[in-house]
């Protein structure tokens, strides 16, 4: 036997704190969206130290009052609110178009969203409209004047105290167009089918497909095989054949579902950051996750990306 007496022969495990000693830089995530339902924004953070708290407590949110059991007092459900310690709120951020128009992006802490719930039962129709605030912590155009256009150049300028300025540049993609008439009405998750779009030269994108389940708690969600796909495509190819999935269970008992096909065109920066770029430039068996020295795509002076997308989507029926 090889004698290894734990506690006697093996050294004890001693954990020590790791400290940081480096100059922080800004950490940027900026997206110019050509999709009308999606605002353009810039998220701004900084790199942080290893011995630094990752988030800081900024207040409480009183969610609701919980009634107590019979004879007992109720209590208030209060949620603590944290925000990333790396968040930068006081920067001056400008987007400049190729006509030298300057758009000021200002910090937005929260945005109000609406959630509507419908219920039809016993001949009665119920409708609830609920409003809630979501912490966004990003910069966006609040004047409504920023209206990005395809195939245009936009520059990013970020200035803030104590950090080097960050500048970026991109050229927005053209809108992709899926050709509705050339995509079959009903597709099968187990059979190949073609997706067609209008030709674009020197453009890349991401083609995705997703089943739109009416009820996410339905039994059918777990039983579906295939359907979902994601594929980086060259928009000059104009077509892509989605391969059928190999499914052991034919799923004959499953009902057809709605199926959403989306083609997203991307500028070069976005494509490089999300599709082709190396993310594991340094790996270590003992470091849990591979990591990098920091990635900068489309920006100078900090880490992160400045990219742009434009999308088109259609809905079809999918059968098992």
Partner 1 sequence: MKPPNIANKFSNSTVCCFLLFGLFTYAQETSTISGFVREDATGEPISYANVFLSNTGLGAATNNDGYFVITKIPSGQYVINASMIGFGVYKKQIDITDGETIRLDIRLIEQAIETSEILVTAERQKFERSMESSQISLDLREINSAPAFVEPDVFRTLQMLPGVQTTSDFSSALYVRGSTPDQNLIMLDGIAIYNPYHFGGIFSTFNTDAIKEADFHAGGFPARYGGRMGAILNVINREGNTQKIKGAANISLISTKVLLEGPVPKWKGMKGSWMVSGRRTYFDKVVDALKIPIEQKSDGTNSYLTFPYYFYDYQIKINLDLTPNHRLTYTRFYGDDVLFFKESDTRQVDSDNNVDIVVDSDFGINWPWGNHTNGLTWRWIVSPTIVAKTFFANSRYRFHFNMDYEENQTFTYADTTEFYNTAFNFDIFDIINDNTLESEIIWKATENQEVTGGFQIRDVHFDLGIEIGITTLDTAVIEKPLDLNNTTREIAFFIQDKWDISPTLKFQSGLRATDYNLHDRLYLDPRISLKYHYSDNIALKLNWGHYHQFLMTANPQDENFRIVDLWMGIPEDKEASRSQHTIVGIEYLAPNNIFYRIEAYQKDFDNLLTLKQGEITTENEGEVYSTPFNEFWDTDAEAYGIEFLVKKPTGRLNGWIGYTFAETKYFTPQSGWHPPNWDRTHTLNIVGNIELTTDLQFSSALSASTGNPYTPILGRVYDWGHTLNSSTYWYPYNSYLVGDKNSVRYSDYFRVDIGIIRKHGNLFGLAYETYWQIMNVTRHVNILGYAYRTKIDYSGNRMGVERRKVGMFPIILTFGVKFEF
Residue 99 beta carbon to partner 1: minimum distance, rounded to whole angstroms: 28
Q: What are phi and psi of 248, to 5 degrees?
A: -65, -45
CA distances 250 to 175, 213, 218, 227, 247, Å, are 37, 19, 18, 13, 6
The number of beta carbons lying within 10 Å of the beta carbon of residue 268 is 18
HSE-up of 43 (CA within 13 Å, CB side)?
A: 14
Residue 228 beta carbon to partner 1: minimum distance, rounded to whole angstroms: 8
- Report whether 318 contacts 188 (CB < 8 A): yes
Cβ proximity to partner 1: between 53 and 182 the closer is: 53
Cβ proximity to partner 1: between 60 and 102 the closer is: 60
Alpha helices in 154-243 (DSSP H): 219-223
**CA 193 to CA 259: how far, in whole Å?**
13
Residue 122 beta carbon to partner 1: minimum distance, rounded to whole angstroms: 32
**CA 147 to CA 62: how far, in whole Å?**
37
CA distances 302 to 21, 246, 287, Å, are 17, 45, 24
Whose tokens are 């409209």? That residue is 129
Cβ proximity to partner 1: between 29 and 96 the closer is: 29
Cβ proximity to partner 1: between 101 and 239 the closer is: 239
Cβ proximity to partner 1: between 49 and 67 the closer is: 49
Residue 82 beta carbon to partner 1: minimum distance, rounded to whole angstroms: 7
Q: Residue 182, Cα to own-chain centre: how many angstroms?
A: 30
Q: What are phi and psi of 275, to 5 degrees?
A: -110, -50
Cβ proximity to partner 1: between 102 and 279 the closer is: 279
Residue 298 beta carbon to partner 1: minimum distance, rounded to whole angstroms: 13
Residue 38 beta carbon to partner 1: minimum distance, rounded to whole angstroms: 6
Cβ proximity to partner 1: between 186 and 315 the closer is: 315
Residue 124 beta carbon to partner 1: minimum distance, rounded to whole angstroms: 30
The closest alpha carbon to 242, from 184, 200, 198, belongs to: 184
């Amino acid at each position: 036997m090889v004698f290894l007496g734990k506690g006697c022969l093996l050294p004890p495990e001693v954990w020590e704190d790791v400290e940081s000693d480096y100059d922080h830089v800004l950490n940027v995530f900026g997206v110019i969206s050509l999709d009308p339902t999606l605002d353009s924004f810039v998220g701004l953070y900084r790199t942080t130290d290893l011995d630094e708290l990752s988030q800081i407590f900024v207040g409480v949110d009183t969610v609701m009052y919980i009634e107590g059991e019979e004879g007992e007092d109720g209590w208030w459900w209060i949620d603590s609110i944290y925000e990333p310690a790396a968040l930068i709120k006081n920067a001056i951020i400008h987007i400049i178009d190729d006509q030298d128009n300057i758009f000021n992006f200002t910090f937005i802490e929260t945005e109000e969203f609406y959630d509507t719930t419908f219920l039809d039962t016993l001949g009665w129709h119920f409708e609830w409209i609920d409003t809630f605030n979501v912490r966004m912590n990003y910069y966006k155009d609040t004047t409504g004047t920023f209206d990005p256009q395809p195939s245009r150049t936009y520059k990013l300028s970020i200035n803030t105290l104590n950090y080097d300025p960050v500048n970026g540049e991109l050229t927005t993609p053209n809108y992709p167009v899926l050709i509705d008439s050339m995509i079959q009405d009903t597709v099968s998750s187990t059979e190949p089918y073609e997706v067609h779009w209008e030709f674009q030269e020197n453009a890349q994108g991401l083609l995705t497909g997703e089943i739109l389940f009416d009820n996410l708690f339905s039994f059918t969600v777990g039983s579906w095989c295939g359907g979902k796909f994601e594929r980086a495509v060259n928009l000059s190819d104009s077509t892509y054949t989605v391969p059928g999935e190999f499914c052991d269970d034919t799923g004959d008992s499953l009902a057809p579902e709605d199926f959403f096909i989306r083609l997203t065109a991307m500028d070069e920066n976005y494509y490089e950051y999300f599709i082709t770029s190396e993310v594991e430039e340094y790996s270590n068996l003992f470091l849990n996750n591979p990591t990098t020295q920091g990635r900068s795509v489309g920006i100078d002076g900090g880490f992160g990306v400045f990219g742009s997308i434009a999308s088109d989507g259609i809905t079809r029926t999918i059968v098992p």
